[in-house]
Amino acid sequence: MTEPTWRVVDEGALGQAAADELVRAVSKSIAQRNHCSMVLAGGNTPRELYSQLASDSYRSLIDWSRVSFFWSDERCVPPDHPASNYNMARETLISQVPVAPNSVHRIRGELPPEEAATLYTEELAAFFHGSGPRFDLILLGMGADGHTASLFPHTPDLTTCNRYVVPTESPLPPHQRITLTLRSINAAENVIFLVQGRSKAQTLARVRAATEGRETEPLPATLVSPTTGRLLWLVDSAAAGESSR
């Protein structure tokens, strides 16, 4: 089990702190392997990070031609839908930086969920030359219920699923989702959680308790533990307030 690193930043500073962290991680991957496979997170928290990366201050700090983009999960909506995780990342980041052709690997949320999961599994197999995915960097968020990607507390077979991508259901609309599994996530070289807001404080306290062996009921987020990679929890002071007591 990977020992997580915890870093707390001031409220309002999470986007810039995450951008600095991501520049370091991506640059290290490119220096070591001449490429970086990066998994983007959806939801509201990463939006500021993506805008920061696309800004004049950060855009030139990464060789975007050597980055391939993937997604941790997707809602079952068309790619131009306001709820699409791909659409949010495209608007805030991908359309703003010089990406290489064929470097954007989106989940096809407009298809039936099982078909979309199968196609994404095949796309990952092609990219990783037939082996299981081992991403250089995965960005994740965490919901107030402890979910991450689209792995929810009620998602069946969280720890026993041998697939890399599965359809799942969210308690909130859009209900149908496609998500990477823990098997895919825990094989990554780097996993970075971004958590902000006082509404996450109680859940974050449970996550920290779990890492210290004091939480008996695991949440999906607590099950993220890269086999050999690095795990960083980057949280703002509002989210950390209760967990630091």
pLDDT digits (tens, 9 = 90+) for 50-60: 999 999 999 99
Residues 6+ away with beta carbon under 8 Å from 63:
30
Looking at residue 30, which CATH number applies to its domain?
3.40.50.1360
Residues 152-194 pLDDT 10s: 999 989 989 999 999 999 999 999 999 999 999 999 999 999 9
What is the span of the domain harbouring residue 219? 5-240
Per-residue burial over 119-132, b if 16 or more Cβ lie within 10 Å, else e, is ebbebbeeeeeeee
Cα–Cα distance list, 198 to 210, 211, 232 (Å): 19, 20, 19
Q: Is residue 217 part of a domain?
A: yes
Q: Is residue 47 part of a domain?
A: yes
CA torsion 107→111→113→117, rounded to 10°?
A: -40
* pLDDT at residue 18, as a whole number: 97
Q: What are phi and psi of 119, to 5 degrees?
A: -65, -40
Residues 6+ away with beta carbon under 8 Å from 162:
183
Q: Which residue is associated with the tokens 């359309």?
A: 95
Burial class (CB in 10 A: 0-12, 13-18, 19+), 236: buried
Q: Is the pLDDT of residue 243 over 60?
A: no
Q: Is residue 123 part of a domain?
A: yes
Domain count of the chain? Answer: 1
Q: Answer for the pair 188, 231: CB distance below 8 angstroms, yes or no.
A: no
* pLDDT at residue 43, as a whole number: 87
Q: Is residue 27 part of a domain?
A: yes
Q: Is residue 144 part of a domain?
A: yes
Can you tell me the mean pLDDT for 130-139? 95
Question: What's the pTM?
Answer: 0.95
Cα separation of 57 and 45, whole Å? Answer: 20
Q: Is residue 170 part of a domain?
A: yes
Both structure tokens of 194: 């971004």
Q: Answer for the pair 141, 197: CB distance below 8 angstroms, yes or no.
A: no
Cα separation of 183 and 4, whole Å? Answer: 18
Q: How many C-beta atoms lie closer than 10 Å to residue 11's C-beta?
A: 14
Residues 62-108 pLDDT 10s: 999 999 999 999 999 999 999 999 999 999 999 999 999 899 999 99
Burial class (CB in 10 A: 0-12, 13-18, 19+), 171: exposed
Q: Is residue 245 part of a domain?
A: no
Residue 211 binned pLDDT confidence (cut-offs 50, 70, 90): confident
